[in-house]
Amino acid sequence: MLDPHGRVVLISGPNRGIGLALAQNLYAKGYSLSLGGRDAASLARVAEKMDPARIHTARYDAKDWRSHKAWVDAAVERFGRIDVLINNAGISPKMTLRDADEAALDEIWAVNCKATVSMIHCALPHLEASGSGRIVNVSSLSGKRVANDNFAYSMSKFAVMSLTHAARRIAWDKGVRATAVCPAFVRTDMTAGVSNFPHEQMIDPGDLAELVSSVIALPNTASVAELLVNCRLEQML
């Protein structure tokens, strides 16, 4: 297993839900963190109980590619390296083919897909320099099967799966490993409106974070391409 001490992790959307659980878990294990989000105040609340020597915050707007490069550059200036990139930020609007809306479709594509492309592009030279760089894209089981009519979210997560495998190929020889994390329902505010499955039976975000921490600590010789995590029995899984 890789020693987390001295390794630097970038996490987008770390102020709540899965992202917050990831930040808390990885910080506790000894990683240094650079947290990216739009709300500076919420980032500050996450960071306030952490050692200033191991924490960094920056503006990250999924739809503003200039903020992506600025965040990566600032993290490298602060820590001198990047070892892990976790693309966690995402949105889940409701849209069916009967009510397709171009503007809403453009937004989900920009946030869930295009921003992930941009962040990988910006961070890749530093991940390659690490020799054991890791990319984690938070996808969904909705990127592996279609279980409802919310096609836009599912389509975006299928795209993230394709992107993750492209990332696995592009810098494998330089030690970069990429993983798509595909959870079912996770007990966060994003699933607060779900009424067809008991919230107490959903995945705890802390458990998902523990799985991710295990994956990024694996050596180059034990790479996990897709991590499928369910909270109920499904035929396809």
* DSSP output for 8-37: EEEEESTTSHHHHHHHHHHHHHT-EEEEEE
Contact 62, 117 (CB under 8 A): no
Active-site position among 27, 31, 60, 153? 153
The Cα 116–Cα 88 span in angstroms is: 9
Rounded to an integer, what is the distance from CA 174 to the centroid of its chain? 21
Catalytic site residue 153?
A: yes
Contact 75, 58 (CB under 8 A): yes
Contact 179, 224 (CB under 8 A): yes
Residue 80 C-beta-side C-alpha neighbours within 13 Å: 4
Tokens for 93, please give them: 């609007």
The Cα 38–Cα 154 span in angstroms is: 24
Catalytic residue numbers read 153
